[in-house]
Structure 1
Amino acid sequence: MHYSFSKDFFWGAATSATQSEGRVEGDRKGENIWDYASKEYNHRFFDGVTTEQTSRFYEDYQEDIQKMADLSFNSFRTSISWSRLIPDGVGEVNPEAVVFYNQMLDELNAKGIQPFINLYHFDMPMKLQEIGGFENREVIQAYKKYAETCFELFGDKVAYWFTFNEPMIPAEAGYLHDRHYPYVVDFKRAAQVLHHIVLCHCEAIKSFREGGYSGKIGIIMDVIPVYPRSQHPADLYAAEMADLFYTKSLNDVILKGFYPEEIGEILRKYDQLPVVTTADKELLSATKIDLLGINYYRPRRVKARESVPNPEGVFSPEWFYDNYEMPGRRMNTSRGIEIYPKGLYDIAKKIQNEYGNIDWFVSENGIGIQDEEQYLQDDMVQDDYRIEFLEEHLSWLHQAMEEGSNCLGYHMWTFVDCWSWINAFKNRYGFYRMNLETGEKTVKKSGLWFKDVIENQGFDKNN
């Protein structure tokens, strides 16, 4: 079967500043929470790899952008590093960063690659984290000023802006589940962090509108579709609660302008409500985005709780459901997550049916494989598994688009193997292989397949 996409469909890949830029002497970059944590809590990072050793985009951006052009990309998402641009989070702007980002954006535009620029990808400046980070309401104004600085400096070079990547993650991973710095485990603090992130998003969009900048602005969300073990009422309730906490609570406030009543009732019952003012609610309801990015990697399968939560324990969404390991599920054993391509279709239909069929694009989708060098033949990684992954996800996406979903593009995670938070370089995701010893970047088989898809505006797949 042939799957065709429109000639103006966005094809490309995504990365982030902290995961790709690295450091060079004299760059005057300020420290962010990942620079700090990867050194001070080095034992938490795979092979002890720090943010110093990423994929060298700061040094190699010209060659890297040429490599994107070689694959016929027409778009590319990355982020601006807040701590590179404004080392202390507030105050003086780093002139070295202004030069770098201007040159990088000019290079993308010169090659016909549309920059999709994200303002925040998990990387709080350490100076602001020291006063509480997103827990501190003062940081909302610091973020607003940072966003305005970006719009002013780079607005003539960027047509697509995004306020946050996966806003749930800094709250959930940093303040509840002990995965990201500052390693807090406290639901109420996590809820306050998430609310302040949402307010930052709203303030940035307000500044963008008032500044009269051209282009579009949106946000990038991490969506994990939820599937119950069975149609038993207890399993259905478990799925409803998982979806309410991890998806609907954020989707509704961003896309509809208000938090779901159900979440408020539950948090009030357990004394976990964050502080939300009347002015906050007015700002939320007044904020509208132009474009939604969706990151999709895996489904969430759940079942009814099999035990009563510890009443003295830490309140969490997991009080209301248990994870379910479905027999026969197809796994990416490198990451320990399920591969379920139809989930992308289900997300598309949810956007279409519940959120006004807003314009959206796949902002991340990918498969990370450990020890990928085992597939190296004749200096090329023969990653047929990645091609299969792409074919399956794109065919389900195509079906949703045929049924009216307003999907405008697809960005793979990622362009070149990059540093992935606590996993560092354990799992490889790129269209290009990164040689960690030499810094050489060589195309994988999947990159050439993707180039062919872009140039032919589609692909053939045997169903």
Structure 2
Amino acid sequence: MKTMKIPEDFIIGAASSAWQTEGWDGKKDTQDSYIDLWFKNNRHVWHNGYGPAFATDFYNRYKEDIHLMKDIGLTHFRTSINWSRFIIDYENVTVDEEYASYIDNVINELIKNGVEPMICLEHYEIPAKLFEEYGGWGSKHVVNLFVKYAEKVFERYGDRVKHWFTFNEPIVVQTRVYLDAIRYPFEQNTKKWMQWNFNKALATAKVVQLFNNKDYKGKIGVILNPEVTYARSSAQHDMDAAKIYDLFFNRVFLDPSIKGEYPRELLDLLIKHNIMFEYTEEELLTIKENTVDVVGLNLYFPHRVKARSASWNENIPFHPSYYYEMFELPGRRMNPHRGWEIYPRIMFDMAMRMMNEYGNIEWFIAENGMGVENEYRFKNEEGTIQDDYRIEFIGEHLKWLLKAVQNGANCKGFMLWAFTDNVSPMNAFKNRYGLVEINLEDGRNRKLKKSAHWYSNLIESKELQVIKDEIK
């Protein structure tokens, strides 16, 4: 067995979001988010009907949950502020004092218990009203309202919060809605997809500009979910397919956020296929001059692609898959519950890319974890879930991450998804990710899993015991 030392300043924390934990207590009827709107209009697709309405009831039980964070030894906790609830009048940016006081209490309780808050301004929580009236992130007006909302948040909590992020996974909502049309309101519109992508990159730059102009203490960044992409083979056609996939799904946010500009190859493709976003030169300058301080990366599984072999239906709107098909690696190791390949080396490969292509900017793993169905099967006689599979999953991914740090990667931490079991889009509570079990049949009572005790020891010892060491 080999021991890997974890650097003293390396964060070992956990994450959740507002909408996946809070529930609707205290929420006014006019304060639905996009997620709430989707749930209300399309509830049958959410596993067993669970959704944001009750979630984990963090709104009422945050003290209990934060005490568990302290028991585990978490030093950092990442969550979001629900934009749709923080503001009561979106046009005039009037703060809802009831919800704002709740956020005050959560931040103060975290700090009191030795847990550093890391706050994201939007985790899919765009107000439903702005989605319905303006088309959401397709509107530049919504971009400006987001900046005004951010200013109110910074004014209120900037004295205590030192880790800020504009978005969590800014590409996701529009990819599900407008590119793949698999979520409410189901509209396949690739040009709209690209406009959302651009406007969110612009919103990040504008909020970074605001943050720096106001001279707030701390750092501001964005949390992205790059899809670590591997070509099926070394043949040029497969390599080209992987490169184009990377342009559309990774560099579309990595480059403007970190480098302040878009890849020329991507812009050429957008023009070629008539899906170029609307922009001004002033907006491009804002993006160029206001790059982020730090990047969070959510990494779970690899993406493998090959050159397209099937003919393309020219009667349908352009989709990036015009250039590629997904490839399933024979013999791949799988998480059968989530349908995702397990390939821990994504940590190292992405870390080397951040070092070699993105100036070795400061970054951290903002999410990584393993979702498993029917975890109650693994309870021992004391009723504790023996989630050795999660311990192995975390350990293997952390091993490759620490190897990258040893090789010079500027990675500053690892945040597990998630602190507790919580609601996920559509999957609801089907796949459990938490260190802490949420018992749906017993008032959502909490109980530490075996992984929570293992994670606690990891934080305290700052040592990772590596059983299988295939790293060369």
**2:272 counterpart (257, 269, 272):** 269
Alignment of 1:166-181 (within 5 A): 166-181=169-184
One-letter amino acid of the structure 1 residue matched with residue 392 of structure 2? E
> What does residue 119 of structure 1 align with?
121
CA contact (8 A) 1:12 1:74 kept: yes
> What does residue 235 of structure 1 align with?
238
String of CA shifts for 1:367-400, please: whole Å, max 9, x gaps: 1001111111221110000000011001100100
TM-score of the aligned structures, taking structure 1 as reference length: 0.98
Q: What is the alpha-carbon distance in structure 1 between the residues aligned to residue 311 and residue 89 of structure 2? A: 45
> What does residue 68 of structure 2 align with?
67
> What does residue 402 of structure 1 align with?
406
Distance 1:29 1:436, change over 3 A: farther
Q: What is the alpha-carbon distance in structure 1 between the residues aligned to residue 169 and residue 234 of structure 2? A: 30
String of CA shifts for 1:110-137, please: whole Å, max 9, x gaps: 1111100000001110111112111111
String of CA shifts for 1:143-190, please: whole Å, max 9, x gaps: 000000100011111000000001111221222112333322110010
> What does residue 226 of structure 1 align with?
229
CA contact (8 A) 1:28 1:96 kept: no
> What does residue 104 of structure 1 align with?
106
CA contact (8 A) 2:226 2:250 kept: yes
| Alpha-carbon offset, residue 87 of structure 1 | 3.3
Distance 1:296 1:103, change over 3 A: same
> What does residue 212 of structure 1 align with?
215
Query: Are 1:53 and 2:54 matched, yes or no?
Result: yes
> What does residue 418 of structure 1 align with?
422
Greater shift, 342-351 or 127-136, is seen at 127-136
> What does residue 282 of structure 1 align with?
285
Q: What is the alpha-carbon distance in structure 2 between the residues aligned to residue 337 and residue 47 of structure 1? A: 22
String of CA shifts for 1:193-212, please: whole Å, max 9, x gaps: 11111111111111111111
String of CA shifts for 1:289-321, please: whole Å, max 9, x gaps: 111100001100011111121111121111100
> What does residue 260 of structure 1 align with?
263
One-letter amino acid of the structure 2 residue matched with residue 151 of structure 1? F
Greater shift, 263-272 or 137-146, is seen at 263-272
Distance 1:29 1:347, change over 3 A: farther
Query: Are 1:365 and 2:355 matched, yes or no?
Result: no
- Percent identical across equivalent pairs? 38
> What does residue 386 of structure 1 align with?
390
> What does residue 33 of structure 2 align with?
32
Q: What is the alpha-carbon distance in structure 2 between the residues aligned to residue 39 and residue 28 of structure 1? A: 12
**2:432 counterpart (428, 431, 440):** 428
Distance 1:246 1:111, change over 3 A: same
> What does residue 309 of structure 1 align with?
312
CA contact (8 A) 2:163 2:220 kept: yes
| Alpha-carbon offset, residue 29 of structure 1 | 7.3
Structure 2 gap ranges (5+): none
> What does residue 449 of structure 1 align with?
454
One-letter amino acid of the structure 2 residue matched with residue 427 of structure 1? N
CA contact (8 A) 1:82 1:89 kept: no
Distance 1:193 1:181, change over 3 A: same
Aligned length in residues? 463
Distance 1:113 1:27, change over 3 A: farther
Q: Secondary structure at the match of 1:348?
A: helix
| Alpha-carbon offset, residue 422 of structure 1 | 1.2
String of CA shifts for 1:333-384, please: whole Å, max 9, x gaps: 1111101100111010000000000111110000100111111122111000
CA RMSD of aligned residues (A): 1.2
Q: Secondary structure at the match of 2:88?
A: coil
CA contact (8 A) 1:9 1:409 kept: yes
String of CA shifts for 1:10-32, please: whole Å, max 9, x gaps: 11101110001112157677111
Q: What is the alpha-carbon distance in structure 2 between the residues aligned to residue 18 and residue 435 of structure 1? A: 19
Q: What is the alpha-carbon distance in structure 2 between the residues aligned to residue 193 and residue 389 of structure 1? A: 34
Query: Are 1:142 and 2:145 matched, yes or no?
Result: yes
Q: Secondary structure at the match of 1:196?
A: helix
Structure 1 gap ranges (5+): none
CA contact (8 A) 1:27 1:96 kept: no
Q: What is the alpha-carbon distance in structure 2 between the residues aligned to residue 269 and residue 363 of structure 1? A: 35
TM-score of the aligned structures, taking structure 2 as reference length: 0.96
One-letter amino acid of the structure 2 residue matched with residue 293 of structure 1? G
> What does residue 349 of structure 1 align with?
352
Q: What is the alpha-carbon distance in structure 2 between the residues aligned to residue 179 and residue 106 of structure 1? A: 39
CA contact (8 A) 2:197 2:252 kept: no
CA contact (8 A) 2:305 2:326 kept: yes
CA contact (8 A) 2:26 2:99 kept: no
String of CA shifts for 1:389-432, please: whole Å, max 9, x gaps: 01100110010000001111110000000000111111000000
Alignment of 1:312-323 (within 5 A): 312-323=315-326
Q: Secondary structure at the match of 1:264?
A: helix
Distance 1:435 1:27, change over 3 A: farther
Distance 1:29 1:457, change over 3 A: farther
CA contact (8 A) 1:88 1:126 kept: no
| Alpha-carbon offset, residue 93 of structure 1 | 1.1
Q: Secondary structure at the match of 2:19?
A: helix
Q: What is the alpha-carbon distance in structure 1 between the residues aligned to residue 28 and residue 113 of structure 2? A: 25
One-letter amino acid of the structure 1 residue matched with residue 118 of structure 2? F
> What does residue 79 of structure 1 align with?
80
> What does residue 12 of structure 1 align with?
13
String of CA shifts for 1:29-86, please: whole Å, max 9, x gaps: 7111111211211122111223112011111111100100101000000000001101
